[in-house]
Structure 1
Amino acid sequence: MATKEECLSALDKLSDNLARADGKARTAAGFNRSLSCHITDLDLTFSGRLVDGRIEVADTIEGPPQDKTQIGLAMSGDDLVALVDGELNFARAWAAGRVRLVAGVRDLLRLKSLL
């Protein structure tokens, strides 16, 4: 089971990957939205913002997200690490129910080019 620190490191790595994106992916990553990532096996939620292609984690709370965010993710810590390391395909993990993504239609369309 991934630790809190490993999950934060994975979010940092994902943020670095988004910041280095180019073309359509950079355009999709370059928007400003509130974001939460609930790590189900640790029962922790990292909350913050996706701003100009960077994930800025502002807070870590126990349990599920307290506030509604524009983009919400939920998965195990191991799945987060595997996704960021390229060992787990997002679309397959989402289809299998291993990853939950909640966002508005417009945000989903923009995020689609990142996945």
Structure 2
Amino acid sequence: MATIEQCREALEQFSRNLGSANGDARKAAALDRSLTCWITDLDLTFSGHLRDGRITDVVEVPGPPPAKAAIRLTMTGDDLVAMVDGQLNFASAWAGGRVRLEAGIRDLLRLRTLL
């Protein structure tokens, strides 16, 4: 099972990846939205803000997300680490129910280029 530190590092790496994206992926990552990532096996939520292609202001909160963010992810810590490391395809994990992504329809349409 991935640790809190490994999950935090995976989110930081994901933020760096978003920041270095090009083309359509760069435009999709340029949203200005609140974001949560609930790590179910650790029962911990990382909350932050997707802004200018980066995830900023990340804080940890015990339990499920205390507030409804514009973009909400739910997964295990191992799946988060595997996706960021390139060992797990997001689209496959999402289609298989291992990862949940909730957002408004416009945001989902923009985010699909990141998937």
Task: Give the TM-score, by structure 1 length.
Answer: 0.98
In the alignment, which residue of structure 2 is the partner of 1:41?
41
Distance 1:57 1:101 in 2: 20
In the alignment, which residue of structure 1 is the partner of 2:10?
10
In the alignment, which residue of structure 1 is the partner of 2:81?
81
Q: Which secondary structure does the structure 2 equivalent of 1:93 belong to?
A: helix
| Cα RMSD, aligned residues only | 0.7
In the alignment, which residue of structure 2 is the partner of 1:64?
64
Q: Which secondary structure does the structure 2 equivalent of 1:113 belong to?
A: helix
Letter in 2 for 1:105: I
Per-residue CA deviations over 1:2-52 (Å, capped at 9, x if unaligned) read 000000000000000000001111011011000000000000000010001
**How many pairs align?**
115
Letter in 2 for 1:100: R
Distance 2:17 2:100 in 1: 21
Is residue 2:95 matched to residue 1:95? yes
In the alignment, which residue of structure 2 is the partner of 1:108?
108
Deviation at 1:59, TM superposition (A): 1.8
Distance 1:31 1:111 in 2: 9
Structure 2 alignment gaps of length 5 or more: none
Tell me the percent identity.
63
Distance 1:88 1:9 in 2: 17
Letter in 1 for 2:95: A
Task: Give the TM-score, by structure 2 length.
Answer: 0.98
Per-residue CA deviations over 1:56-106 (Å, capped at 9, x if unaligned) read 143211100000100000000000000000100111101111000000000
* Ranges of 4+ aligned residues in structure 1 off by more than 3 Å: none
